[in-house]
Structure 1
Amino acid sequence: MPSVPFRFAPALLSASLLVMLAGCSSPSQQASVDTAATEREARPIPAYKPAYNGGGQIQIPFGTSEPTQAELRAERQRQSTTRGLIPEGRTYLGSIPCETATCTVQRVTLTLLPDGRWRRISQPLVPAGSARTDAGCWRSEPGTRPLIHLLPASGSSSGANVASFSMQSPAVLNVQALGAKTLTRRYTLNIQADTESTSALQNDTSFFCPAR
């Protein structure tokens, strides 16, 4: 085999060294590259996280528009302390004496809401007459049998009671007084599955009662 001329030996040696250097790197450099790649692959992709308030409720920002009547009713109900006695809208029905001499017996449909409002439909039976509707705010008086006092719509924070009832149970109200007339006999109003009367008062935006 012919020998390589001496003048080409340094060139061949330099080329061989370049190939060896290009094909390898130090162990520390290779470890750094591998670690960085692994961290990039393991890093989680950022996800959208809603804002939470204490208690597990999502905070939803409200716009600048005025609150709806439904929102106002819900806020008044939340603030009112009457909701403990009447936790939801209830309607009671019963036949009781009339407050005036125009009749002797009337059928009363009484609706109470947790926000402190009430509405009553009075239908004279003896003698028969036209139904009358009135409304206002009610307040409670604690006790073994809590009292519910119906106050007139105007000046509901003071003045004579329209009527007073004692709560025998959540389903039964005993009539204590009608206006200035105290009843000596037992008359009751019993709870009814009357969603129509309850909804009608809930949707009435003509008046609200102050939170207590």
Structure 2
Amino acid sequence: MFLSPIRLLSLSLLVLLGACAQQRAPGYYDTPRDSTVSDALHRAQGDSATQAPSQLQLGFGSQEQKPKPTGSQAVPPAGSDAAAAPAAGTARQNLPQTLADTRTYLGTIACMDGGQCPSSRMTLTLAPDGQWRARNTPVDGSSPARTTLGCWFLTGVDPVRIVLQSGDQARASLEFSASNVLRVVRVNGQPPLLESRLTRQADLDPIAELSSQPAQHCDAS
């Protein structure tokens, strides 16, 4: 059978294209294309680049989130120092509701030195793991604000009472006169000359001046 040159050339091209097609990997020409629908589904299902919004941080100690231990490292060996030592940042158990979450209180405290000093505005933040931080600012601006931190301890439950301790020194004794009100009983061992109360605030104040200080390791109360 005689084939014309044009028909012979066409058959040769078809054979050549067929050979090239066989050398391509399956699905070579099926490259997916982005679309609004596929992108929306991708975001809804989540991917490796998706990050959950960061949770509110109080600011006590380091802000870095450490990975949770797994396997044999999840629980320290019994009797080890790591098992015996309380971890900073861990909430205490069986706390009264007034101490079960982080709260900031603010109020004016009268002078403790027979009226020979100005009153001060006290901002106090209590964390359920036993840490506290405070800022005292003279109302007349006669001196800079002073900041203090330490551990609080539960000393009574009817009414709820706590003592603020810094190192080995008791700084203040307070009690809840209401769920959102702290009454100042003593400061540095002395009662205030006038009734002094701290009221819970809507926003947390981590006392940013102490952000560089390490977290306190407070024993369970």
Fold conserved between structures, TM > 0.5: yes
Structure 1 residues 61 and 163: alpha-carbon distance in aligned structure 2, compared to 1, 3 A threshold: closer
Q: Does 1:171 align with 2:185?
A: no
TM-score by length of 1: 0.56
1:66 Cα deviation from its structure 2 partner: 9.4
SS of aligned partner of 1:108: strand
Aligned length: 142
- Residue by residue over 1:10-29, the C-alpha shift from the partner in whole angstroms, topping out at 9 and shown as x without a partner, is xxxxxxxxxxxxxxxxxxxx
After TM superposition, list the pairs within 5 Å mapping 1:71-82 onto structure 2.
Answer: 72-74=87-89, 76-77=90-91, 79-82=92-95
- Residue by residue over 1:35-87, the C-alpha shift from the partner in whole angstroms, topping out at 9 and shown as x without a partner, is xxxxxxxxxxxxxxxxxxxxxxxxx97157799xxxx445x31x455465401
**1:107 paired residue number:** 121
- Residue by residue over 1:134-159, the C-alpha shift from the partner in whole angstroms, topping out at 9 and shown as x without a partner, is 0111111224222111111x23xxx4
C-alpha distance in 1 between matches for 2:94 and 2:207? 19
Q: Which has the larger radius of gyration?
A: 1
Structure 1 residues 143 and 206: alpha-carbon distance in aligned structure 2, compared to 1, 3 A threshold: closer
Q: Which is helix-richer, 1 or 2?
A: 1
Q: Does 1:92 align with 2:100?
A: no
Structure 1 residues 211 and 171: alpha-carbon distance in aligned structure 2, compared to 1, 3 A threshold: same
**2:70 paired residue number:** 62
C-alpha distance in 1 between matches for 2:136 and 2:128? 22
C-alpha distance in 2 between matches for 1:138 and 1:85? 13
Gapped regions of structure 1 (runs ≥ 5): 1-59
Gapped regions of structure 2 (runs ≥ 5): 1-67, 76-86
C-alpha distance in 2 between matches for 1:85 and 1:188? 15
TM-score by length of 2: 0.54
State the percentage of identical aligned residues.
29
SS of aligned partner of 1:138: strand
1:104 Cα deviation from its structure 2 partner: 2.0
